[in-house]
Structure 1
Amino acid sequence: MTKVLVLYYSRSGNTRKLAQQVARGIEAQGVEAVLRTVPELPAYPDGQTPASTAKDPFVTRQDLLDCHGLALGSPVRFGNMAAPLKQFIDSTSGEWLSGALIDKPAAVFGAGSMLHGGQETTLLTMTVPLLHHGMMLLGVPHSECALHTTEGGGSPYGASSVADANQPLIADEKQIAKTLGQRLARFAQTVHHHLG
């Protein structure tokens, strides 16, 4: 069966909400969505160790090897991905050297609390290591009507949300995330069945 890894980091839960919507879109195409996260870093510069809020298993190297596609998600951190996710991505040089992710489709998603807080630059910077891995990047096409009506997140670069920790995703954000998941699943199926 075709599997798509939905790998994310979420501190407040907003990125996880998007991950779940991306996974719903993947599963709507008859593809298995494998939700995984990364652990918190041991400590912040002030010495405090954050409590883990992970509700999904931590990603393994085998998850990367077994997936036929990858959705990568992060909260916005000064226009870039969060450090715990970046640390994991930075540790994948073995997979890069072996070419484990070459020609697999990939997509990105992210969450922030401000409308102009850096969602699009976060999405774009998350694509850079995926390009180094030789992955095929997918976005959200303008045929998705929610891109034209959203008053929150969502862009051609990927799914996103604009909310604080206590707010639910708005309907357009959910739709854009599902569309991204569906598109990723379709390409993963095609690549898996035709390229093996």
Structure 2
Amino acid sequence: MIKINLLGEAKPISTTGLKWLVGGTLGLTVLIVGAVSFCLSLKSQIEDLKPEVASLKLELAKLQSKTKQVKKLEKKKEELNEKIAIIAKLKRSKIGPVRLLDDINMALPKQAWLKKINEKSELMKISGYALDNQTVSRFMVKLSKSKYVNPDMVDLVQSKVADYKGVKLNDFVLQLQVFYAGRKEEEKSGEEAVESKKEKKKKK
């Protein structure tokens, strides 16, 4: 009896491709799970940091606010100091002319008489009569000692002989620079310091 196998010989099935597919799937799954875990961990860290970030922002805002307040206070202080300086200068300027005129009167020698006093832009002109040139010189020296006069700018701009009621006199004109607010405080402080040193030396 003859038997015919229509199915042919049974061939072994290859599992190589299946293994690769399963391995690739598992690897991809692990990779995805790892990525998801990393993302979740990162998100958790971000969430944990949010309160700290908010706290830092609040602290920064407070510091910025304090800085602005300090700057405003410093600006107000500067403005106040400027106003105080202006007020002090105005007070000295009001007193200055009176003191200067008093100094001029005190400096005027007995042998001299004033005719006119003009002042413009801190330049004062004093015109008058004197018995002689020496009298004018003494007047200039005394004027230069006034704290309202620049000692380096006391100049004789005119000196001539004039007849006044039958008497020959020296007709003079002086020009000087004046400071109605007085000389700088630094100069005054410097003079006081020198005087203080002299006193200490005397005591020694």
TM-score bucket (shorter structure): under 0.3
> TM-score, normalised on structure 1?
0.22
Q: Structure 2 length as normaliser, TM-score?
A: 0.21
Bigger share in helix = 2
